[in-house]
């Protein structure tokens, strides 16, 4: 894949980070992300800070080899003018991100699915970890998303986020993978489709 000039622009924009995706409400504390710095919340629990820092680390590392760059360089999977049903079912970018962020980890970590059956984790552990991966992948594509997404755009970008999450899960959970025939032959197309998380 050749990186276009716009791709290099996107690498730079990755480090600005969409503030909506890192917003975290705290009643008495203020948190910011500037440049390469991480959250500064004096009284936040260690686990909360650790999880946020993990998301930031994953987001910045993804900017080096970005799924968003691939998505921007690839042609769209749909053609032609939008149909009336597409126009009626558009979803604002912010709502789509929130829905994928809330729904996709549970879908991927269903007890009967690959993420749980083929790794030495339970559904709860899988969901907690996958939430970080999905958040990082969403952060990585946020700036490339259109302001509103119709169903086909939602499915297209959902596949990008799903593929990104799958690759990260395989990378970071490799040591916990079960040595089972049905796990060693798994294909990405056999995992739940991110479009299933879209209303």
pLDDT tens per residue across span 4-55:
333 333 333 343 344 444 444 443 343 333 333 333 444 445 555 555 555 5
What is the C-alpha to C-alpha distance for residues 172 and 8, in angstroms, rounded to an integer?
27
Above 60 in pLDDT, residue 196? no
Cβ atoms of 137 and 67 within 8 Å: the answer is yes
pTM of the model: 0.57
């Amino acid at each position: 894949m050749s990186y276009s000039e716009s791709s290099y622009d996107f690498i730079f924009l990755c480090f600005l980070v969409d503030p909506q995706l890192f917003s975290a409400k705290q009643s008495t504390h203020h948190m910011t992300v500037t440049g390469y710095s991480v959250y500064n919340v004096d009284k936040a629990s260690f686990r909360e800070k650790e999880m946020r820092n993990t998301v930031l680390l994953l987001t910045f590392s993804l900017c080096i080899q970005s799924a968003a760059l691939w998505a921007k360089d690839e042609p769209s999977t749909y053609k032609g003018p939008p149909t009336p049903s597409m126009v009626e079912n558009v979803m604002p970018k912010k709502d789509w991100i929130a829905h994928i962020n809330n729904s996709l980890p549970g879908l991927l970590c269903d007890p009967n699915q690959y993420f749980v059956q083929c790794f030495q984790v339970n559904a709860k552990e899988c969901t907690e970890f996958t939430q970080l991966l999905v958040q990082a992948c969403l952060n990585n594509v946020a700036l490339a998303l259109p302001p509103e997404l119709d169903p086909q755009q939602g499915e297209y970008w959902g596949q990008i986020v799903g593929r990104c999450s799958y690759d990260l899960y395989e990378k970071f959970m490799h040591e916990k993978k079960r040595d089972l025939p049905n796990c060693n032959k798994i294909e990405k197309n056999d995992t739940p489709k991110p479009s299933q998380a879209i209303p």
